[in-house]
């Protein structure tokens, strides 16, 4: 291990070269889609039986359509990723909640049994919440070695502190993050000021009181549907600073993050987009420009979405962005951005030049044309076939149950997920049907998150469905080499959230970060997974911790789960479990 | 005059479809030379975008020839330009009823229905009527294609193709066909249609925007830059075009140029947002002022000035301050408004009104005259100048101004009432009575109007009628107390 931070390879030493490469890839993209990615439906045998709802099946208000998220976390520190599933409610529930009561619906915590099954431990753990749940973010906010859970709700939020005995206690009010009776959406943790404690950003969607008034109808493709969010008043997002004593302080204004335009925030994600070792924040807004808050240091931010080119796609039209995926898909050392959006529009991939400038590459990467008919929510980059290149997943579903009845309709309420394999660097080919998803039941899906839940060395995934139980897909792709890194901070926050990892295996150089809160109102596996393809050795692993500490490890095993502790190096190596299905 | 092209947000194309405007004007027959003269003056004003005098002249023509469909049609069009949809539709319906075989009457009614209630295909039935009368009516074909496109893309396409058969050089038909093709994901077919629309009408910016969007998926960065630059030549404040230009420049390796365009786009968007917010404050202030909440109004107008130091915002702040009895500050703000925009006729009127309140009639008169130099058709300027002239014992001159004010805005109670008073002062009791009756229709519960009406009726010898009106006035006065 050596100290000192080696700067990542300068981003896009030559933009022109990159552009030329894209042009070449464009031709290759027309090849018939082949997929080395395979999934199987593991939901029913796994026992994830809880139905998630969002209002009634016939939608009369915008409040009934956005659905909810899902988070992976190891709440009992047994090395297996457990699953927390948010659940919505009904308008009647909300009226009860408004007067201080509890919803008749609850969220679900599923303990991973390690054999492909899960046990519902919601009641035992005390995390049902009984509020109209939207998003979740899992992190050890008090650095006690136990993963806690922040839940954003329509209504007051919950902060469930993990007591370490399999139970949680809600401390949102005393911690100062309950947020009042608001429509909270995406939450994300990061230590933006480098003090070793995780701070929290909570996005908000619509001003809630107006939702109790009579909802108007609006025309859509010749039909009358509920109105919104356009024309309705938005709600302000909030930044909470972690005081380090179990409490938080609302610092939105001091930080320069006041949501003046009250845009309809859905998902927020922290990431160091300009490689200045400070986490910036990206917020996907529905029907408005996206925010990109550049972290200026000293607790101050500047909103740079437009000036960095990530507020809108190239056609400069505000999209209805829902979910966010972050990843360095081209191995350039800078984190790129992907957002899902409404149908009859394209999902957008913003390429990060590393010079505080993004540009829209949705067209040439094959994403725009494939996504036009889909209404996307959850999204993530993950190396689904362990070939060393990030692939992309989106969960989809329309907001209008009657969508297919519209005259000339090209969209359906239920929509299949999309799996984009990065078939050639810089080109994404949609291979969902060839990846084992063709025969699966189709839902109107919302939040999505990945995790290697069976610890067999590949990325599995889960997504929530409207009025159905979640779908759990087990990855059964042909094995290739991989490594999964768990970061444990010492000077930094305990989870190592915000750590940037650079892994070198021969000519394969990959970059990844530890994050909490992304996709759509969801949280992925907190561990960092690298596919290695046929590389059977790892030359180096560099970790830049949020504290500024840089650890360089040169003997990292592959095909293993490796725990790295800040300033101590590798402290644990675990072998994978046997795959559940060959 | 012609109805201007409308850029309406149109669902089926998911972009701004462009309605075709009015075509050839049908010249109506006239029974009187006076009617013809007023009509022609109305058209001249309308062609110059001077809607107030156009309405004045057309109303005069209409009162001389009430059954003339041509006059009613133009009147409807002018009201439409002022977004006075109720009057516009009423005039156009009447025109279509009087002249059921006029394709143009049905067309204009259809277009106005579409504009009044966009996105719902409100004009469909009337377009069909126009096309039954004139199957070669290209504008009707285009607009009907837009109206039906939401439900029936095939029919929409058929109509647009028919329009292009009749007029291959119609840029709007090419643009709408391109939009339809784009909506149907026929990108390859839509690009040449956008190009053709631009070739035929280089100012069709929607076509340029759409084309730039499509070219991005083909990575035609140079062409995108060209389209954006053409848009920006015509609309330098188009933040969207600047952003797209920025993206395309970065893709072409011109990082710094691209960054500058992003910065400009953001500045433009922020400025536009500020102006929008200022407008909202201004509207809030006006509402508060009307509700008698003067302090709240001043607060809102002050906020508007902080965001946008425009002449209009200073003027409203001046009005608010004056209403809060801070006349000195009111005059200061109105003076600022006029320094910023010396031709702000409304500010002149308001400043003049403050002088009038302060008893400085000569200063007030000067301001009203300046207002009329800037806008000879401002009813309030005429009314107030009439008042000054009345006070100066110049009733003949005052009468002309009151009459003009009442004709320019037939709903303007004060002008109609003052006209009555002036007529009465000149001993023209019949005309005075007519004005007071108009005023009573406008404000049936106004005690002053009833009282003046009563006195004039008595003067005319209708003692019972006069007394009844005076009694009503007394009752209303008591009620108001």
Confidence of residue A22 (pLDDT cuts 50, 70, 90): very low
The answer as to whether B153 is a domain residue is no
**A60-101: per-residue pLDDT in tens?**
999 999 999 999 999 999 999 999 999 999 999 999 999 999
Q: How distant is the Cα of B3 from the closest Cα of chain A, in angstroms? A: 26
Q: Per the CB < 8 Å rule, is A408 touching B273?
A: no
Confidence of residue A463 (pLDDT cuts 50, 70, 90): very high
**B411-434: per-residue pLDDT in tens?**
899 999 999 999 999 999 999 999
**B232-267: per-residue pLDDT in tens?**
999 999 999 999 999 999 999 999 999 999 999 999
Q: Would you tell me which residues 15-34 of chain A have a C-beta closer than 8 angstroms to some C-beta of chain B?
A: 15-16, 19, 22-23, 26
- For the segment A453-477, the average pLDDT, to the nearest whole number, is 97
Confidence of residue B29 (pLDDT cuts 50, 70, 90): confident
- For the segment B421-448, the average pLDDT, to the nearest whole number, is 95
Q: Per the CB < 8 Å rule, is A23 touching B219?
A: yes
Answer yes or no: pTM beyond 0.90: no
Q: Per the CB < 8 Å rule, is B11 touching A306?
A: no
- For the segment B314-324, the average pLDDT, to the nearest whole number, is 95
Is some CB atom of chain A closer than 8 A to the CB atom of B253? yes
Confidence of residue A224 (pLDDT cuts 50, 70, 90): confident
Contacts of B154 in chain A (CB under 8 A): none
- For the segment B58-69, the average pLDDT, to the nearest whole number, is 93
Q: Is the pLDDT of residue A241 over 60?
A: yes
How much is the pLDDT for A20? 26
A142 close to A148: Cβ distance less than 8 angstroms: yes
Partnered with residue A503 across adjacent β-strands are A510, A541
Rounded distance between C-alpha atoms, residue B139 and residue A175, angstroms: 65
Q: Is the pLDDT of residue B381 over 50?
A: yes
Backbone angles phi, psi at A537, to 5 degrees: -155, 155
Instruction: Count CB atoms within 10 A of the CB of residue A4.
Output: 7
The two tokens of residue A190 are 């990061």
Strands A561-565 and A569-574, by their bridges, are antiparallel
Q: Would you tell me which residues 191-210 of chain B have a C-beta closer than 8 angstroms to some C-beta of chain A?
A: 209
Contacts of B218 in chain A (CB under 8 A): 363
Q: Is the pLDDT of residue B10 over 90?
A: no
How much is the pLDDT for A408? 63
Rounded distance between C-alpha atoms, residue A260 and residue B162, angstroms: 49
Cα angle value B383/B386/B387 (rounded, 5°): 90
B12 close to B128: Cβ distance less than 8 angstroms: no
If phi > 0 it is left, if psi is from -120 to 50 it is alpha, else beta; for residue B49 that is: left
**A139-183: per-residue pLDDT in tens?**
999 999 999 999 999 999 999 999 999 999 999 999 999 999 999
Q: Per the CB < 8 Å rule, is B241 touching A316?
A: yes
Rounded distance between C-alpha atoms, residue B23 and residue B362, angstroms: 49
**A536-565: per-residue pLDDT in tens?**
999 999 999 999 999 999 989 999 999 999
- For the segment B297-324, the average pLDDT, to the nearest whole number, is 96
**CB contacts < 8 Å between A and B, how many?**
92
The answer as to whether B471 is a domain residue is yes
| Closest chain A residue to the Cα of B118, Cα to Cα | A219
ipTM of the complex: 0.86
The answer as to whether B13 is a domain residue is no
Tell me the helices (H) and strands (E) count for chain A, helix number first. 7, 38
With DSSP H G I counted as helix, E B as strand and the rest as coil, what are the percentages for chain A, rounded to 5?
Answer: 10, 35, 55
The answer as to whether B164 is a domain residue is no
How much is the pLDDT for A431? 96
Rounded distance between C-alpha atoms, residue A567 and residue A525, angstroms: 23
How much is the pLDDT for A212? 87
Q: How distant is the Cα of B154 from the closest Cα of chain A, in angstroms? A: 10
Q: Would you tell me which residues 109-168 of chain B have a C-beta closer than 8 angstroms to some C-beta of chain A?
A: 119-120, 150-153
Is A14 exposed, middle or buried (CB count within 10 Å of its CB: 0-12, 13-18, 19+)? Answer: exposed
- DSSP assignment of B333-356: HHHHHHHH-TT-HHHHHHHHHHHH
* Nearest partner of A272 among A330, A341, A192, judged by Cα: A192
The answer as to whether B291 is a domain residue is no
- For the segment B217-236, the average pLDDT, to the nearest whole number, is 94
**A200-209: per-residue pLDDT in tens?**
999 999 999 9
How much is the pLDDT for B25? 62
Residues 6+ apart with CB under 8 A from B241: A316, B209, B212, B228, B231, B232, B235
Which residue would you say has higher pLDDT here, A313 or A219? A313
Considering its fold, how many domains does chain B have in total? 1
Tell me the C-alpha to C-alpha distance, in Å, between residue B436 and each of B63, B382, B454, B469: 19, 18, 9, 11
A143 close to A167: Cβ distance less than 8 angstroms: no
Note the helical H segments in A384-515: none
The answer as to whether B469 is a domain residue is yes
Beta strands in A431-522 (DSSP E): 445-451, 460-465, 471-475, 481-488, 500-505, 508-513
Is some CB atom of chain B closer than 8 A to the CB atom of A308? yes
- For the segment B294-310, the average pLDDT, to the nearest whole number, is 97
Cα angle value A524/A526/A532 (rounded, 5°): 90
Handedness of CA B64, B66, B70, B76 (dihedral sign): positive
How much is the pLDDT for A529? 98
* CATH number for the domain that contains residue B481: 1.25.40.10
How much is the pLDDT for A32? 35
A interface test, pick of B247, B258, B272 with most A CB neighbours within 10 Å: B247
Which residue would you say has higher pLDDT here, A424 or A381? A381
Confidence of residue A409 (pLDDT cuts 50, 70, 90): low
* Nearest partner of A389 among A572, A531, A200, A208, judged by Cα: A531
Q: Per the CB < 8 Å rule, is B255 touching A19?
A: no
* Nearest partner of B349 among B303, B316, B324, judged by Cα: B316
Residue-number span of the structural domain to which B437 is assigned:
377-481
A279 close to A293: Cβ distance less than 8 angstroms: no
Tell me the C-alpha to C-alpha distance, in Å, between residue B60 and each of A303, B3, B56, B90, B248: 57, 21, 6, 17, 56
How much is the pLDDT for B2? 32
CB nearest B244 (choices: A222, A308, A315): A315
How much is the pLDDT for B475? 95
Residues 6+ apart with CB under 8 A from A101: none
* Nearest partner of B398 among B449, B433, B361, B430, judged by Cα: B361
The answer as to whether B439 is a domain residue is yes
Least confident of A102-106, A494-498, B217-221: B217-221
A interface test, pick of B153, B182, B216, B237 with most A CB neighbours within 10 Å: B216
Q: How distant is the Cα of A420 from the closest Cα of chain B, in angstroms? A: 18
Residues 6+ apart with CB under 8 A from A90: A53, A55, A56, A104, A105
Partnered with residue A396 across adjacent β-strands are A376
């Amino acid at each position: 291990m050596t100290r000192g931070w080696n700067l990542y390879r300068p981003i896009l030493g030559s933009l022109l070269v990159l552009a030329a490469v894209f042009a070449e890839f464009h031709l290759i993209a027309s090849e018939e889609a082949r997929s080395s990615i395979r999934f199987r439906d593991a939901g029913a045998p796994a026992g994830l039986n809880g139905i998630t709802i969002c209002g009634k099946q016939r939608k009369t208000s915008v409040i009934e359509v956005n659905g909810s998220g899902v988070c992976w976390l190891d709440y009992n520190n047994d090395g297996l990723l457990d699953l927390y599933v948010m659940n919505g409610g009904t308008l009647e529930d909300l009226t009860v909640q408004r007067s201080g009561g509890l919803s008749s619906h609850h969220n679900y915590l599923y303990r991973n049994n390690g054999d492909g099954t899960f046990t519902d431990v919601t009641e035992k753990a005390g995390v049902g919440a009984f509020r109209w749940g939207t998003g979740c973010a899992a992190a050890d906010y008090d650095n006690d070695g136990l993963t806690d859970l922040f839940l954003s709700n329509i209504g007051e939020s919950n902060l469930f502190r993990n007591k370490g005995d399999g139970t949680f206690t809600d401390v949102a009010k005393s911690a100062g993050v309950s947020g009042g009776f608001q429509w909270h959406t995406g939450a994300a943790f990061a230590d933006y000021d480098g003090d070793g404690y995780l701070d929290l950003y909570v996005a908000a969607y619509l001003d809630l009181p107006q939702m109790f008034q009579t909802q108007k109808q609006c025309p859509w493709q010749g039909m009358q549907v509920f109105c919104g969010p356009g024309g309705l008043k938005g709600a302000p997002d909030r930044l909470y600073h972690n005081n380090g004593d179990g409490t938080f302080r609302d610092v939105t204004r001091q930080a320069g993050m006041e949501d003046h335009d009250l845009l309809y925030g859905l998902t927020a994600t922290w990431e160091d987009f300009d490689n200045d070792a400070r986490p910036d924040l990206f917020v996907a807004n529905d029907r408005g420009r996206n925010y990109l808050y550049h972290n200026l240091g000293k607790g101050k931010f500047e909103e740079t979405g437009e000036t960095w080119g990530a507020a809108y796609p190239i056609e400069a039209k505000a999209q209805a962005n829902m979910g966010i995926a972050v990843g360095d898909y081209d191995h350039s050392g800078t984190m790129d951005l992907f957002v899902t959006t409404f149908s009859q529009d394209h999902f957008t991939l913003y390429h990060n030049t590393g010079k505080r400038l993004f540009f829209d590459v949705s067209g040439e990467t094959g994403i725009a044309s494939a996504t036009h008919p889909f209404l996307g929510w959850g999204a993530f980059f993950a190396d689904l076939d362990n070939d060393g290149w990030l692939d992309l997943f989106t969960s989809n579903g329309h907001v209008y149950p009657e969508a297919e009845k519209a005259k000339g309709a090209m969209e359906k309420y239920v929509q299949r997920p999309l799996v984009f394999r990065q078939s050639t660097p810089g080109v994404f080919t949609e291979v969902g049907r060839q990846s084992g998803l063709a025969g699966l039941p189709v839902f109107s899906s919302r939040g999505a998150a990945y995790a290697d839940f069976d610890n067999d060395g590949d990325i599995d995934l889960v997504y929530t469905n409207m009025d159905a139980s979640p779908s759990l897909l087990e990855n059964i792709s042909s094995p290739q080499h991989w490594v999964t890194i768990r970061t444990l901070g010492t000077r930094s926050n305990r989870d190592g959230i915000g750590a940037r990892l650079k892994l070198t295996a021969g000519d394969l150089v990959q970059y990844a970060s530890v994050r909490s809160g992304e996709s759509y109102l969801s949280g992925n596996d907190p561990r960092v997974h690298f596919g290695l393809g046929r590389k059977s050795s790892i030359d180096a692993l560099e970790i830049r911790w949020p504290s500024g500490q840089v650890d360089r490890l040169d003997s990292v095993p592959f095909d293993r789960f490796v725990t790295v502790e800040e300033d101590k190096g590798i402290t644990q190596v675990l072998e994978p479990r046997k795959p559940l299905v060959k | 005059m012609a109805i201007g092209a409308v850029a309406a947000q149109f669902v089926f194309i998911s972009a701004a479809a462009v309605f075709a405007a009015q075509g050839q004007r049908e010249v109506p027959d006239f029974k009187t030379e006076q009617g013809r003269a007023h009509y022609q003056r109305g058209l001249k004003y309308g062609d110059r975008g001077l809607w107030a005098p156009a309405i004045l002249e057309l109303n005069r023509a209409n009162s001389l020839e009430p059954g003339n469909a041509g006059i009613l049609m133009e009147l409807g069009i002018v009201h439409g330009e002022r977004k006075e949809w109720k009057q516009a539709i009423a005039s156009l319906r009447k025109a279509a009823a009087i002249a059921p075989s006029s394709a143009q009457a049905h067309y204009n009614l259809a277009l106005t229905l579409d504009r009044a209630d966009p996105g719902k295909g409100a004009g469909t039935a009337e377009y069909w009527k126009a096309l039954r009368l004139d199957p070669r009516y290209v504008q009707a074909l285009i607009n009907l294609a837009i109206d039906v496109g939401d439900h029936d893309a095939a029919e929409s396409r058929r109509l647009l193709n028919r329009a292009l058969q009749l007029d291959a050089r119609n840029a709007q038909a090419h643009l709408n066909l391109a939009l339809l093709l784009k909506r149907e994901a026929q990108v390859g077919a839509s690009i040449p249609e956008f190009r053709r629309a631009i070739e035929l009408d280089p100012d069709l910016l929607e076509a340029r925007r759409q084309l730039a969007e499509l070219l991005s998926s083909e990575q035609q960065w140079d062409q995108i830059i060209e389209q954006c630059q053409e848009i920006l030549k015509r609309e330098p404040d188009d933040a969207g075009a600047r952003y797209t230009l920025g993206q395309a420049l970065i893709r072409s390796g011109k990082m710094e140029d691209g960054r500058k365009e992003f910065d400009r786009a953001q500045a433009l968007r922020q400025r536009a947002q500020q102006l929008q917010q200022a407008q909202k404050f201004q509207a809030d202030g006006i509402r508060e002022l009307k509700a008698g909440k003067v302090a709240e109004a001043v607060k809102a107008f002050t906020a508007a000035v902080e965001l946008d130091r425009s002449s209009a915002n200073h003027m409203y702040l001046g009005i608010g301050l004056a209403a809060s009895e801070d006349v000195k500050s009111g005059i200061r703000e109105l003076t600022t408004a006029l320094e910023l925009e010396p031709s702000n006729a409304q500010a002149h009127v308001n400043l003049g009104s403050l002088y009038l309140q302060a008893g400085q009639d000569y200063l007030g008169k000067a301001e009203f005259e300046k207002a009329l130099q800037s806008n000879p058709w401002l009813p309030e300027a005429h009314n107030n100048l009439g008042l000054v002239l009345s006070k100066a014992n110049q009733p003949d001159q005052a009468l002309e101004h009151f009459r003009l004010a009442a004709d320019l805005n037939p709903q303007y109670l004060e002008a109609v009432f003052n006209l009555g008073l002036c007529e009465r002062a000149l001993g023209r009791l019949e005309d005075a009575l007519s004005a007071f009756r108009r005023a009573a229709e406008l404000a049936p519960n106004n005690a002053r109007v009833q009282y003046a009406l009563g006195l004039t009726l008595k003067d005319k010898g209708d003692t019972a009628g006069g007394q009844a009106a005076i009694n009503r006035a007394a009752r209303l006065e008591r009620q108001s107390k």
